[in-house]
Structure 1
Amino acid sequence: MLRAMPSRAERYFAHLDTLTGSAEPRLQPIPSTRPGLDDVIAFVYADEPEPRYLTGATYGLSLADHPDWHGVRPELWISVRSDDPVWALAIGYLAEQLRGTCPFVYGDTIDFGQPIAPESSMTAFAVSAPAGLDAHQYTLIDVGGPPISIAGCYPVHDTERKYIREHGIDAFWQLDWDLYDVRRQPVV
C-alpha cells in the first residue's frame, strides 16, 4: 500500500514540533478574508520556551503571493513573557489581514493601531530574526514547495516603531531592552 506524501502544511507542522519539543499547541483558525486562500492558523504554545512564557506561530501567510518574495515565503513567530494567548492570535490576525500586501521582511514595522494586549501599552510590531531559534531552524524550511522562512515579530511601543523606521532595526537592537518583556517601558 502506498502512503501519501505529507502535505505542505503537515511538513511545516512537523517542523514546528522540532522547535517546540513536546509542547502541544492550541490551534486557532483565523478566518480568511481572501478568496481562494485558506484560513490562517495561529499556533499557541503555553509555557514555551519555559514556564510563564508564550510562543506563537502562524501558518497561512506563506500561501499568499507578494512581489518582494523571491522563492522563500514567510510565516510569523513570537515569544514573549506572558501567559496571554492574545499575542499569538495578534500575529495570526496580522498574517491574515496583511498577506499579499506586507512583505514581513526584517526591519518592517507594523502599527497594530491599538494596544495589542490588555497587559501592555505596546501598539506595534517590529519584524526581525525570531528569538530563541538558530538560523538553520528558521530559514529555508523544506515543505515540498516554495520553502518557508520564519520571521520574528517583536512587540514595540509606537515611539520605538518610529525610531526603527528612521534609524533601522539594527540601531534598535543596539539599545538596552528586554525582547521578551511586554510590560517594559519604551527605550526611546
Structure 2
Amino acid sequence: MPTRVERYLAHLDRLSGGRKPTFTPFPSTKPGLRGITAIVYRDHPEPGFITGLTYGLSLSGHPAWRRSTPELCITVRSADDAWAWAIAHLAERLRGGECHFGYGDIIGFGERVSEDSGMDSFALFAPAALEQDDFLGVDVGEELPVNITGCYPIHSSERRFIQDNGVKAFWELDWDPYDVTRAAVV
C-alpha cells in the first residue's frame, strides 16, 4: 500500500508528465511538527517557468480544515527556485493555527522574494495552471484529501488593495499572474 507522501508524489508525477522535481527540505521550527519540503519542477508547464509545491503543510492541522487539508503551489515565469522556497518557508512558519491558507488570504513575506522582482507578498486562490480535478480532492489515503492552493506573487500596494477591496476586485484587474517582473497594477 503506498504511503501518504507516495500518493501525493504520484499525483504530482501525473500532473508533470513524469518530469523529475528537485526537493528542498525546510526543517520544522514548530515542536511536534515535521518539516516542509519544497518540490520544484523546472520548465513546467512550459520552458521558462517553474512550478513549486509544498509537502508537509497538510500534516499540521487547523480547526478550519474540516473537509480537506492544503498544500501550496506556485507557477511563475522565472528560473529562480526562491519562489517555491518562499511558499515553503511561509507554510512552515505560519502553520499550526496561525494561518488557515484559504482562498482570499494574503500573506506578506516581509522582503523581496527574488532579485528579479520587487514582489513581497502572496495572494492565495485556486491554482490557475491546474485543472480543478487536479487540485481539489487529491487522495492521499486518509479521511481528508489534500486541496492544492495557488499562491500568486503580488506587490505591497496590491496587498493593501486586496485588504481594502477583496481578492475578487483584484482578480478583475488587468495583470499577468505568472509575471514576477510586472509593475504593480494598483
After TM superposition, list the pairs within 5 Å mapping 1:40-119 onto structure 2. Answer: 40-100=36-96, 101-119=98-116
1:167 CA drift (Å): 1.0
Structure 1 stretches of at least 4 aligned residues deviating more than 6 Å after TM superposition:
none
In structure 1, what residue type is equivalent to 2:92?
A: E
1:8 Cα shift? 0.7
Alpha-carbon separation, structure 2, partners of 1:71 and 1:107: 18
In the TM superposition, what is the alpha-carbon distance from 1:69 to its structure 2 partner? 1.2
Check if 1:187 corresponds to 2:185: yes
Gaps of 5+ in 2: none
Contact kept, 8 Å, 1:32 with 1:96, in 2: the verdict is yes
Match of 1:138 in 2: 135
**Unaligned 5+ residue runs, structure 1?**
none
How far apart, CA to CA, are the structure 2 residues paired with 1:36 and 1:20?
Answer: 32
**2:124 maps to which of 127, 144, 150:** 127
- Helix, strand or coil: the match of 1:55? strand
Alpha-carbon contact 1:124-1:156 (below 8 Å) kept: yes
Aligned residues: 184
* Structure 2 counterpart of 1:16: 12
Q: Deviations over 1:22-69 (max 9, x none)?
A: 321000001011222211110011101011101000000000111111
Shift in Å, 1:19: 1.1
Describe the SS at the equivalent of 2:115.
coil
Deviations 1:135-182 (A, max 9, x none): 111011110112100000000000101111111111111100011000
Rounded Cα–Cα distance in structure 2 between residues aligned with 1:88 and 1:118 = 14
- TM-score w.r.t. the length of structure 1 is 0.96
